[in-house]
Structure 1
């Protein structure tokens, strides 16, 4: 069955980094997937009255912002199309629109029709972080968060963050397409961050993967003075990992996300591609 991957590209107020097109296409090619690239342009409701129109010319400013958003979206789709053609990846495209507060929600809703959702990353860009959070927690699909400023290459050295939880198990299952193509798999458990369900949980997962024909190494680490999100990424990079797989802890109340420590650390300072499932 053909795998379907999606790439979501918010265009307001700022787009993701310049490498997102090549990185997303590279992932689709690695997985043998069809890629759908969707830009999400801003749709600002006209709430002007006679006074605001007279003093600020608000309708004209709204049109200016929306036009700039659409132009960024067009450029993003052109970049993805050129990269897909170069790599011989089947591509479909679409243009969505949403009010500023609901850009991430539009991505999550559309993502439910695909096997894998990809979002780009840009440091200190709130709209992109909100989109990533919504896709992780609301799409019901695995979310691959990709750095937007550097080439990621093949995601074939996979590090699994394992704490024996439901969301971690979901992430391992969702990572199957990557695990089956991996040249190296390692499992890491953090022993000093919270109570774990056993001392040998990483080894037990390694045995389970081995029974499925996948060789994996198990290791335990401690955070020390670092936050858990930092410790996980530093460990992944230290062992040569180029994809971190983990469960996403968190929930939303009135659209304000309350995130677990590891999830918050990853989404605050992404240092390598992360496949996150909820």
Structure 2
């Protein structure tokens, strides 16, 4: 079914914030269905004192905080080992404690030697997980699955492809080809203005290519609604009860300041469906 997927990286970061995580269960489910090996990074974020003249009290508090995060990450890792064994998934589990730049760098390096990465969705704009999402999208050269809360099983019965004929959308479709071929139905959705859609049929040129790959695909064009392209995508995903949205990520920043494009940013902040993204 997913014969070309042999290695899955599942990333979790312990920041001492009590947030639900779906990445582990979802990633293990994906690895199980693909017969893939899972690498689980249960990392904890290390607080580093920048001032050498801090008091002993402050230094002790930081050390205690780092120890607490490490213990929390160790507990997550132990659960991950048990869950992987129960699912019959061959897995390796790592529990590094790293400063924020080191953490992002380590995840990117790991992602480059895996077929796909799985992270939790993160609505906060300033958060370790958000930095990881952006880093993996723009630096790893590999696709990324971002999982919102409540998804503990990988499903791909109905897949929605956001299509704008860009190089990034092409890459996303190619990266997701095994998933698209295994889906019961794939809807290729192009969203534009009435003027744009009056002169062309976006997606029509891609559909024959997908059919030749054995994808059960249909093409749909929609005029963007009041909430824009992201809102229209969310609405259509809900309408067809999509299990997954496949899309190319877009970065508007010219100076590499990790500023996500509007549609990508909006979907990461509010999407009830897992996102398969490539850049």
TM-score over 0.5 for the pair: yes
> Compared with structure 1, are the counterparts of its residues 41 and 101 closer, same or farther at alpha carbon in structure 2 (3 Å cutoff)?
same
Task: After TM superposition, give the deviation of residue 153 of structure 1 in Å.
Answer: 4.4
Q: Per-residue displacement from partner, 1:163-216 (whole Å, max 9, x unpaired)?
A: 0000000000110221122111110000129968x7223122111111122120
Q: Please, which moves more after superposition, 169-178 or 39-48? A: 39-48
Q: Per-residue displacement from partner, 1:200-259 (whole Å, max 9, x unpaired)?
A: 231221111111221201101122211322221221121121100000001667763222
> Could you tell me which residue of structure 1 aligns to residue 35 of structure 2?
32
> Compared with structure 1, are the counterparts of its residues 14 and 158 closer, same or farther at alpha carbon in structure 2 (3 Å cutoff)?
same
- Within 5 Å, give how 1:92-241 maps onto structure 2: 92-124=92-124, 126-192=127-193, 199-241=200-242
> Could you tell me which residue of structure 2 aligns to residue 11 of structure 1?
14
How large is the RMSD of aligned CA atoms in angstroms?
2.4
> Could you tell me which residue of structure 1 aligns to residue 76 of structure 2?
76
- Within 5 Å, give how 1:36-55 maps onto structure 2: 36-50=39-53, 52-54=54-56
Q: Give the Cα–Cα distance (whole angstroms) in 2 for the partners of residues 253 and 95 of structure 1.
A: 35
Task: After TM superposition, give the deviation of residue 63 of structure 1 in Å.
Answer: 1.1
Q: Give the Cα–Cα distance (whole angstroms) in 2 for the partners of residues 252 and 81 of structure 1.
A: 39
Q: Please, which moves more after superposition, 111-120 or 30-39? A: 30-39
Q: What TM-score results when the alignment is normalised by the length of structure 1? A: 0.89
Q: Give the Cα–Cα distance (whole angstroms) in 2 for the partners of residues 253 and 42 of structure 1.
A: 29
Q: Give the Cα–Cα distance (whole angstroms) in 2 for the partners of residues 232 and 180 of structure 1.
A: 21
Q: Give the Cα–Cα distance (whole angstroms) in 2 for the partners of residues 236 and 26 of structure 1.
A: 22
Q: Give the Cα–Cα distance (whole angstroms) in 1 for the partners of residues 12 and 41 of structure 2.
A: 6
Q: What TM-score results when the alignment is normalised by the length of structure 2? A: 0.89
Gaps in structure 2 of 5+ consecutive residues: none
Do the aligned residues in 2 keep the contact of 1:13 with 1:69 (CA within 8 Å)?
Answer: yes
> Compared with structure 1, are the counterparts of its residues 259 and 121 closer, same or farther at alpha carbon in structure 2 (3 Å cutoff)?
closer
> Could you tell me which residue of structure 2 aligns to residue 90 of structure 1?
90
Q: How many equivalent pairs are there?
A: 274
Q: Per-residue displacement from partner, 1:130-149 (whole Å, max 9, x unpaired)?
A: 21111111111000001234
Q: Per-residue displacement from partner, 1:33-76 (whole Å, max 9, x unpaired)?
A: 111101222233333444x315xx22112212211221221122
Gaps in structure 1 of 5+ consecutive residues: none
Do the aligned residues in 2 keep the contact of 1:136 with 1:142 (CA within 8 Å)?
Answer: yes
